[in-house]
Structure 1
Amino acid sequence: MSKEHTKENKLLSINLNENINLLKKQLSKSSDITFRKLHIGNQSGYLIFVNGLIDTNGIQVHALQQLMEYEGSSLSPEQIEEKIISISEISLVSTIEESIGNILDGNAIFLVEYLNKAFVLDAKSFETRSISEPETESSIRGPREGFNENLGTSLSLLRRKIRSKNLKVLNKKIGEETQTNVAIAYMEGIVNDDLVIEVEKRLDDINIDGILESGYIEELIEDNPSSPFPQIQTTERPDTVAANLLEGRVSIHVDGTPFALIVPVTFWQMLQASEDYYERFYISTFLRWIRLIFLFIALFLPALYIALTTFHHEMLPTNLIYSFAAAREAIPFPALVEALIMEISFEALREAGVRLPKTIGQAVSILGALVIGTAAVEAGIVSAPMVIVVSMTGIASFTIPRFTMAITIRLLRFPLMILASIFGLFGIVVGFVIISIHLMKLRSFGIPYLTPVSPLSVGELKDVFIRMPWWSMRNRPQHVVGGNLRREENNLAPEAKK
């Protein structure tokens, strides 16, 4: 252990100057850190804080002014806590390391002569983004509020949804240099205790210099980091987190990002939107089937087009064959190259639309696709049917509610296109089998990824391909819940109550 690290762990001394010298040495070359010297009665003291991270008016009114007006002969910790400083939250620390940690965390530290303790004054106050509707998870019906970058605000939004003493929050700091605040939320009595222990263990095993976004943690704690499929759900919506906690899952919140992580997750969960549970059940069921159908279109349509036009002409109607042949007559490239040109161009336009300012990004992506597609057909680089196929594929990928799953499907269609160009429909079948085997082997915090379809649990299929009405879904998912299985009492169907 280095000398510097030893000093950081040193206990505070009753000698005020010694403590201040140690703190100034550790926090040297930091012009934003203020050391404010005070005289309190016959004793000296220091108030230390980071400019911009604390409420200076609150410190002035509830600490500085009261300390400087004190006229007693000596100070004790009890007097400071109970009679002088009126800030709501005060705690004591006894080491240099704890003092530095609290200063950098946005608290003010008060040191006084002849006391070997430091007072931590919770007066955090810094600019944050206001609560707004999540842009990545917009919905027609449902709450319009989303998490923001402030961990305290995000947890308060969660508390507003679940006003229960069983909602528990555990705090951790991760990142050697960033010391990022991370919170684990779960419902006691519903969650499986082993899941909470496993989440804590994986977070404790993280050894990295900094955590700047929840994506760092996601990649470091998932079961199979090499898989293209997301094994952790990300969301900006407090209602989505609350619903998952009530089903026995665990959420991880990271200071500095609005995206919370939910574990464990299944494949089917990634195809569900929050408003599925706010609309009537038959509407939600219809929308789920639309998503499933277009999931297969997004994954297989370009590969099917390549296979049919290259190897399996006999499977198409005669008129359609003539139409495709006429459209491709002047095209100098094989179907695979044609598809790759259009798919990569489409992905580039989509990425450009995201990166450009919002006022012009959407217009550029739409107009760019129209102009490039039309020009490419007129120039004889690609055929009109291929433009239609790529457009349908792009639209289909937008129906997938979770961005992480949508981009996985977008990536997987490229190897399927290559397999189709070499082996035809047989290559597509081989690709589908490989993807299916991978999905069946995949785990999310020990839970099979295709649960409850594989392994099959008939009772839990009420919320997979269809969404049964609330009065029929009386139990929580058995594969994840560890405590109270019952979601509701034996409510009768509406028509049975008449």
Structure 2
Amino acid sequence: MKIKGQVKPKVFWKGMITLWTFITSNLPDWKMCAQALISMMIAIGIYFFNKYLRLIVAKKNAPIQKKENGDEHPAKSNLSVDYDENLNAIKQVISSNSDVHFREFQITDIQARATLIFVDGMQNEELISEHVMKILMSDTEKDITGINPLALSAYLLENVLPVCEAYEAADLRDLNQSVLKGCTALLIEGMPSALLIHASNMKSRAINEPSSEALLRGPRIGFTEVLSENTSMLRRQGFSDDLEINRYEVGARIKRKLVIAYMKEIVNQDLLQEVRDRIEKINIDFVAESGYVEQLIEDDYLSPFQQTQNTERPDRVINSLLEGRIAILLDGTPFALIVPVTFGMLLQSPEDYYDRWLPGTFLRMLRFFAAFLALMAPALYISFISFHPGLIPTELAITIIETRQGVPFPSLIEVLILEISIEILREAGIRLPKPIGPAMGIVGGLIIGEAAVQAGIVSPFLVIVVAVTAISSFSIPVYSAGITLRILRFGGMLCAAVLGMFGTILFFLFICGHLSKLKSFGVPYVTPLSPVRFSDWKDLFVRAPLPLMKKRPKMMKTQDKNRLS
């Protein structure tokens, strides 16, 4: 079956032969003809390899068929009116845990036995002692002697226990899981259910400035590892009833809370449903960090480019929500995910909007230029030095040749030595303690660069090129996007070493072609460049004055199109 728009094999090969004839007729040197032939062979190989990868991705994104036999979850077991039977059933499941405690006591008013079940260190002991045990073990002002045991739990919740969050649980499996998550269970003799009291007292770190996204101007708060604190930060940022937060649980064996946040009167409903479907398909034992979610919901896991944006900043999240995007927050990590994402977003900083439009535009264009240098500078150096020295100005070429006198390695090996050394230093600086890391990185870079030049292993001009490349990669606001460019840089260097400028251009065109086909939750990755949407260019390479940015991005297809009334 032929797909609409698919290139026919005959047409493809005919085009390749025509292109080869044109190239060979215009290239006088047989070496350059050989380079062109190799370039075309690589292009053909990439064409078929790309088709193979698309088949793999299509299989990965195929809908998962749910089991029809109802065996996805174990059968539930309800509690009974027999107090001893219920207590033994609970102990049989979770009493083997040394941190689970059973505190038995007597309820004075009705002379009934009761047991508090909790995990050591996960509950507020003072709240439980004062507002549960003390009230039930003494004569209460509320007379509960005549209450029917079947209605006792509802009466205790409504009239006796002064706790904010508590509910009734009749399922044994849910009760055990809730206790292990930090709830306190109250089991009373004669009552066919238990009370689950939320009185957690888990410690969390203080709210600090985000370490991975530092700004000169802007809020100084970042997300923490506690999900409730993170959602409250979004509420404080927004102060709007339009902000909606939906809760999920992910993880097959160890469950964790996950929420998606969006503006219900702005977000595209098709996008919202797509995000929900992908989250519901997550099937893994334990979701340790939001990076797991990122890898499990992205469109193309074979792509080197990230298709979600991670951030520690609540202000970045709320601004993205107002553009019609969706945020995903996971308990236990300070990094939230924003979907969908475009390549331009990875080079934008919240500070672009806090300053006036002129400095914001200048810094943004500087980042785009730095991203190009971080990706292509070493490849261009190799292609110019090894294959096309005639393209370099004469005086500069003479200077470079003089500095390379005595260097025993070809340009590729020379560049690899310095690039790998810089990457090792960068990784070591991150892993070392904070007081030592920056000093080690600076001193190590200076010593290695100077020693390599003095030993005649590399040329001084190459040290400048590698230093500019490393500094350019540091200027990218999103750290993971910088890692992608650093990895792809090595591919560009190999193409330049084999095919010279042909290989460099072929590598760049391959990256551009891949980006033009890549999507993030249905949104083209390089929009508004492809497909072209000139109205969205106000917030791409330039940051237009705020009074001119009246519309939300067209790519998001939001319900409310207007940003300014």
Distance 1:192 1:101 in 2: 36
SS of the equivalent of 1:66 reads helix
Q: Decide which of 11, 14, 23 is 2:90's aligned counterpart.
A: 23
Asked if the contact 2:552/2:558 (under 8 Å) is kept, the reply is: no
Residue by residue, what CA displacement relative to the aligned partner does 1:52-94 show, whole Å, maximum 9, x if unpaired? 1111111111111111114643551232112221011111122
Asked if the contact 1:247/1:481 (under 8 Å) is kept, the reply is: no
Counterpart of 2:448 in structure 1 is: 372
**One-letter code of the match for 1:234?**
N
SS of the equivalent of 1:127 reads coil
SS of the equivalent of 2:435 reads helix
Counterpart of 2:375 in structure 1 is: 299
Asked if the contact 1:249/1:481 (under 8 Å) is kept, the reply is: no
Residue by residue, what CA displacement relative to the aligned partner does 1:135-155 show, whole Å, maximum 9, x if unpaired? 000000000000000000011
Distance 2:188 2:336 in 1: 40
Counterpart of 2:136 in structure 1 is: 67
Aligned residues: 488
Displacement of 1:170: 0.9
What are the within-5 Å matches in structure 2 for residues 100-139 of structure 1?
100-139=176-215
Distance 1:431 1:202 in 2: 33
Determine whether 1:43 maps to 2:109.
no
**One-letter code of the match for 1:390?**
V
Asked if the contact 2:153/2:194 (under 8 Å) is kept, the reply is: no
Distance 2:562 2:281 in 1: 34
Asked if the contact 1:66/1:85 (under 8 Å) is kept, the reply is: yes
**One-letter code of the match for 1:115?**
M
Distance 2:512 2:206 in 1: 43
Displacement of 1:101: 2.1
Asked if the contact 1:190/1:481 (under 8 Å) is kept, the reply is: no
Q: Which moved more, 1:233-242 or 1:467-476?
A: 467-476
Kindly, what percent of the aligned residue pairs are identical? 44
What are the within-5 Å matches in structure 2 for residues 294-373 of structure 1?
294-373=370-449
Determine whether 1:456 maps to 2:523.
no
**One-letter code of the match for 1:28?**
S
Distance 1:35 1:447 in 2: 53
Distance 1:184 1:54 in 2: 27
Counterpart of 2:127 in structure 1 is: 58
Q: Which moved more, 1:131-140 or 1:29-38?
A: 29-38
Counterpart of 2:53 in structure 1 is: none
Determine whether 1:274 maps to 2:343.
no
Distance 2:164 2:401 in 1: 78
Determine whether 1:11 maps to 2:78.
yes
Determine whether 1:231 maps to 2:300.
no
Distance 1:435 1:6 in 2: 48
SS of the equivalent of 2:168 reads strand
SS of the equivalent of 2:352 reads helix
Displacement of 1:120: 1.5
Residue by residue, what CA displacement relative to the aligned partner does 1:401-453 show, whole Å, maximum 9, x if unpaired? 11111110111110100111111111111001100010000000011001111
**One-letter code of the match for 2:78?**
L
Determine whether 1:419 maps to 2:486.
no
Distance 2:203 2:368 in 1: 42
What are the within-5 Å matches in structure 2 for residues 94-493 of structure 1?
94-489=170-565
SS of the equivalent of 1:136 reads coil
Residue by residue, what CA displacement relative to the aligned partner does 1:98-142 show, whole Å, maximum 9, x if unpaired? 112211221111121222222111111111011000000000000
SS of the equivalent of 2:342 reads coil
Distance 1:30 1:110 in 2: 18
**One-letter code of the match for 1:475?**
K
**One-letter code of the match for 1:122?**
H
Counterpart of 2:32 in structure 1 is: none
Asked if the contact 2:222/2:313 (under 8 Å) is kept, the reply is: yes
Structure 1 alignment gaps of length 5 or more: 490-498
Distance 1:447 1:6 in 2: 39
**One-letter code of the match for 2:217?**
R
Distance 1:307 1:484 in 2: 50
CA RMSD of aligned residues (A): 1.6
Displacement of 1:6: 4.5
Structure 2 alignment gaps of length 5 or more: 1-68
Asked if the contact 2:262/2:325 (under 8 Å) is kept, the reply is: yes
Asked if the contact 1:313/1:321 (under 8 Å) is kept, the reply is: yes
**One-letter code of the match for 1:17?**
D
Q: Which has the larger radius of gyration?
A: 2
Residue by residue, what CA displacement relative to the aligned partner does 1:141-184 show, whole Å, maximum 9, x if unpaired? 00000000000001110100111111111111111222111111
Residue by residue, what CA displacement relative to the aligned partner does 1:301-330 show, whole Å, maximum 9, x if unpaired? 111111111011111122222211121111
SS of the equivalent of 1:359 reads coil
**One-letter code of the match for 1:432?**
F
Asked if the contact 1:107/1:121 (under 8 Å) is kept, the reply is: yes
Displacement of 1:482: 2.7
Task: Give the TM-score, by structure 1 length.
Answer: 0.96
Residue by residue, what CA displacement relative to the aligned partner does 1:315-346 show, whole Å, maximum 9, x if unpaired? 11222222111211111110000100100000
